Amino acid sequence: MSWIKALAIILFLAIAQNGPVFAQEASGDAEAGPTLPAELTRPAIRDAISKMDDATVRQMLIERLDAVVAAEEAQQSQQSFIDFAGSLAQGVAQNVVVSVVRVPNLADGIWRALSAFFGPKGLAGSLLFFAYLAIAIGAGYVVGYLSDRLVFSKWRNRVETAKPDDLVQTLQVLGLRFVLDIASLIVFAITAHIALSILMPSEKDLATAWSGIANLMILVLATAAVTRFLGAPSRPDLRLISATDETARFFNRHMKIIAFIVGLINFLIFFFVDNGIKLGELKLAFWVNLVLYAWIIQMVWRARQGITDILIGGEADPSPGQLRLARAWPIVTLVLVVLNWLLIEVLVAAERYDLLRGQQNVTLAFILFAPAFDTMIRGLVRHIAPPMQGEGPLAEQAHRRTKESYVRIGRGLMLAAGVVILANMWGLDVETLRTDGFGAQIAAGLVEIILILAAGYILWEGVTLWVNRKLADEMTAAGHDPHADDGGEIGGAGGSRLSTVLPLLLRVGQVSIIVITVLLGLAQIGINITPLLAGAGIVGLAIGFGAQTLVRDVVSGIFFLFDDAFRIGEYIEVGETRGTVEKISVRSIQLRHHRGAVHTVPYGEIPKVTNQSRDWAIMKLRFTVPFGTDTEKVRKLFKKIGQEMLEDEELGDDFLQPFKSQGVLEFDDVGIVLRGKFMAKPGKQFTLRKEIFKRVQKAFEENDIEFARKEVRVRVPDQEDGEPIPPAEMRKLAAAAAEAETPPPAAGS
């Protein structure tokens, strides 16, 4: 095996002379593999090799060669990206420059194409061609008009006189009108094609004439039918999108102009190629395409407020997220339009004309009709969303959030479906593109990243939707409203155990979805996520050792939740801190004091929890009456009041046990202390107490029973009971009382 050692010596010599990278790797692998000499000299290398066996030398050789290959691949990948980006920019710039330089050739190229087509025909033949074309178009219009009046008139009248009441009927009317428009267009196309086939026996003339009709007329009329279906510019009662009459007419007019420019591009490409003119010589497509995208950009900019209104969808109270999306979408549309134009120029520069067979126009249509797709999603959600469950603010809020989540899920699905459709149209097969060129690999990675983000977003919204609906069901069933004001001094009954744990689980689930989505996205762009996972584990371990208080708080919180010690909305006492449970996080709990202050208490600092809102609450009331009051009569009055309140429609459901007397509690210096009590739902006892006080006072007044009051009795010697006090004695008593109420002078005054 001497040849192995010889090869190893050569490799070590190369390392010693050429490369800090290899020397660095050798020092980094010192613990994992054979040790290199500290000083890479020829004698030292020979001495080190002579002391190794063949297996050790082979292992070292493999490791060094792998390092060389990895370094070359990394350098090649970096160089490939730089070369790729540079070649794209250079190609686009060169295409623009060439298009500008060749502007003088446009007139000559157009003349050569017209000469090639009309030259052999002569003047008479050319006039005859246009006459046949006009006859075919006229025949198509006449037959289409007659079919519309004679065959489709019944359905046309139904559309014109229809007054739909809901979305389903509106869609039926619009669908019928769209079908009639397309049917008339088909009749026109068939008639015109038959007329051309009869009048023009030449295949070349027939193809040119039909290309002109198809691109410059049929495409425009089909686009008009679509915009009439979506915008209904002349029928506001049938309009699907939320737009004014001016905006609907604006889009209808400009979309037809865009369709005409697209058709003109297609016709010119066909006409020049069919007549032997190379498109690269004239660069006519560049200028027509530039006009098209310039027109689209000015249209989107002028109609930005209309686009925003369409995305808001006529909502009276749109969410902040919906408002931000609606206001930002015109700018997003402009960016996507510019990127689509750049993509076309890149493909032209790369001479990939096989990818410019209409895919770019479909992509442009997806971008421009995105607000209409969003309207379709919201209209569909209004019909498939479940009805509101329960009543009150909580139920309304849950129903609104449910519809918003359905809309966002629909948008995510629409985005994913659009990416898949466009990827198939552009020929972006992810599996095969991985082995293609660098640009194809970027396209494949971009498609996968978008799909991963869309899937993560849909999963996020699905989990959020399920948790929010479950929370609303739990709170509505328990009658818990965190924003309700019962007029009490402390919080009422809290939510269920599930409604307490679900918000915490929702946060954990959302964080998990974000982390997984980000990691998958990083993996798709070529980043090795294994070190990230290992680093996360090390960081978590370090946090566990360095932040023991945090770990104690988290663990304590888990056990408090397992023990069901408190729930959202319950009034608890933690040491000297008390308040209503307002928020539960991973490491702490927030309590809202009944006077407004918010206390944040870490779980690890909770010695014990006193829950005053669990299951029921007992309220005991004291009433003091004068000596000599008939306590049995008072007992019967209390029982009557308790029975009346128990039968009350508004208050009866809040009682668990009615108000009743507990007899004489004690005697004091004022009178007899009587006590009554009742059991109520948590948080309802204060409202019931106010009503009981009011009714007891009214009952005492009706039965000549007074509440005891503090009195001061003065007995005058030699004065008989009931005998009037002389005025002189009255003055002496008043003076003595005033002297008794005067405080003594301060010391030293």
Residues 238 and 380 reside in one and the same domain: yes
**Cα-based distances in Å from 98 to 9, 112, 293, 341:** 56, 20, 19, 17
Separation between Cα atoms, residue 110 and residue 740, nearest integer Å: 122
Q: What is the mean pLDDT of residues 390-410?
A: 69
Q: What is the pLDDT of residue 298?
A: 92
Give the residue with greater pLDDT, 411 vs 71. Answer: 411
Give the per-residue pLDDT at 73. Answer: 55
Q: Which of 614, 639, 657 is the last residue of a domain?
A: 614
Given a cut of 90, whether residue 2 has pLDDT beyond it is no
Residues 6+ apart with CB under 8 A from 206: 196, 197, 200
pLDDT at 736: 67
Same domain, 151 and 266: yes
pLDDT tens readout for residues 340-386: 888 888 877 777 777 777 778 888 888 888 888 887 777 777 766 66
Cα–Cα dist 161/52, whole Å: 98
Amino acid 626: pLDDT:
85
Q: Terminal CA-to-CA distance of the chain, rounded, Å?
A: 117
Q: What is the pLDDT of residue 739?
A: 64
Which position has the higher pLDDT, 295 or 603?
A: 295
* 398 vs 158 pLDDT, higher one: 158
Q: What is the pLDDT of residues 566-612, one digit of tens each?
A: 777 778 888 888 888 887 877 788 888 777 788 888 888 888 888 87
Same domain, 608 and 584: yes
Is residue 642 domain-shared with residue 727, that is, in the same domain? yes
State yes or no: pLDDT of 521 exceeds 80. Answer: no
Q: Tokens 């979309």 — which residue?
A: 255
pLDDT for position 438: 45
Place of tokens 């009662």: 237
Cα distance between residue 498 and residue 478, in whole Å = 11
CA-to-CA dists, residue 653 to 16, 414, 598, 607, 639, angstroms: 91, 49, 31, 36, 18
In the prediction, which pLDDT does 684 show?
79
Q: Considering the chain, what percentage of its residues have pLDDT values greater than 70?
A: 71
In angstroms, rounded to a whole number, what is the distance separating the alpha carbons of residues 45 and 36? 8
Asked whether residue 96 is domain-assigned, the answer is no
pLDDT band at 507 (very low <50, low <70, confident <90, very high): confident
Statement: residue 493 has pLDDT above 60: no
- With 80 as the cut, is the pLDDT of residue 506 above it? no
Say what the alpha-carbon torsion angle 423, 424, 426, 430 is, to the nearest 10 degrees.
60
Cα–Cα distances in angstroms (integers) from residue 290 to residues 99, 164, 295, 345, in the given order: 11, 43, 8, 10
220 in the same domain as 74: no
Per-residue pLDDT, 5: 46
pLDDT score of 706:
82
Task: Tell me the CB-side half-sphere exposure of residue 643, using CA atoms within 13 A.
Answer: 6
pLDDT at position 541 is 62
Instruction: Report residue 562's pLDDT band, with 50, 70 and 90 as the boundaries.
Output: confident
What local confidence, expressed as pLDDT, does residue 538 receive?
Answer: 64
Residue 104 forms part of a structural domain: no
**Listed residues 559, 586, 614: the one ending a domain:** 614
pLDDT > 90 fraction of the chain, expressed in percent and rounded: 8
Domain of residue 403: give its range.
Answer: 385-482+493-519
**pLDDT for position 476:** 60
More confident residue, 259 or 80: 259
What is the pLDDT, as a whole number, of residue 9?
A: 47
On the question of pLDDT at 228 being above 50, the answer is yes
Alpha helices in 619-726 (DSSP H): 631-646, 685-702
pLDDT, position 42? 65
User: Is residue 100 situated within a structural domain?
Assistant: no
Q: Are residues 547 and 637 in the same domain?
A: no
In a domain, 748, yes or no: no
pTM for the model stands at 0.58
> 3-state class of 748 per DSSP?
coil
User: What is the band of 388 on the pLDDT scale with cuts at 50, 70, 90?
Assistant: low
Q: Where is the domain boundary, 384, 403, 426?
A: 384
Q: Is the pLDDT of residue 89 over 80?
A: no
Q: Which are the contacts of 487, defined by CB distance < 8 A and separation ≥ 6?
A: 686, 687, 690
- pLDDT at 38 exceeding the cut of 60: no
Q: Would residue 40 count as lying in a domain?
A: yes
> Residue 638 maps to which CATH number?
3.30.70.100
pLDDT, one tens digit per residue, over 440-466 is 555 566 777 777 888 888 888 788 777
Do residues 578 and 591 make contact, with C-beta atoms less than 8 angstroms apart? yes
Give residue 699's pLDDT band: very low, low, confident or very high (50, 70, 90).
confident
Are residues 408 and 314 part of one domain?
A: no
User: Could you tell me if 234 and 333 lie in one domain?
Assistant: yes
Specify whether 515 is located in the same domain as 534. no
Q: Lowest-pLDDT range, 217-226, 316-325, 488-497, 718-727? A: 488-497
pLDDT(27) > 50: no
Is a pLDDT exceeding 70 seen at residue 473?
no
Q: What is the pLDDT of residues 626-684, one digit of tens each?
A: 888 888 888 888 888 888 888 888 888 888 888 888 888 888 877 888 888 888 887 77
Contact 454, 415 (CB under 8 A): yes
Q: Span 110-134, mean pLDDT?
A: 87
- 229 with 302, same domain: the answer is yes
DSSP string, 507-555: HHHHHHHHHHHHHHHHHHTT---HHHHHHHHHHHHHHHHH-HHHHHHHH
pLDDT reported for residue 72: 59
pLDDT in the model for residue 698: 87
User: What is the domain count for the chain?
Assistant: 5
Chain mean pLDDT for the chain: 76
The reply to whether 435 and 562 lie within a common domain is: no
- How sure is the predictor about 394, in pLDDT bands with cuts at 50, 70 and 90? low
Same domain for 627 and 723?
Answer: yes
Spatial separation of the C-alpha atoms in residues 27 and 35, rounded to whole Å: 8
Residue 99: inside a domain, yes or no? Answer: no
Residue 683: alpha-carbon gap to chain centroid: 36
Mean pLDDT of 718-739: 66
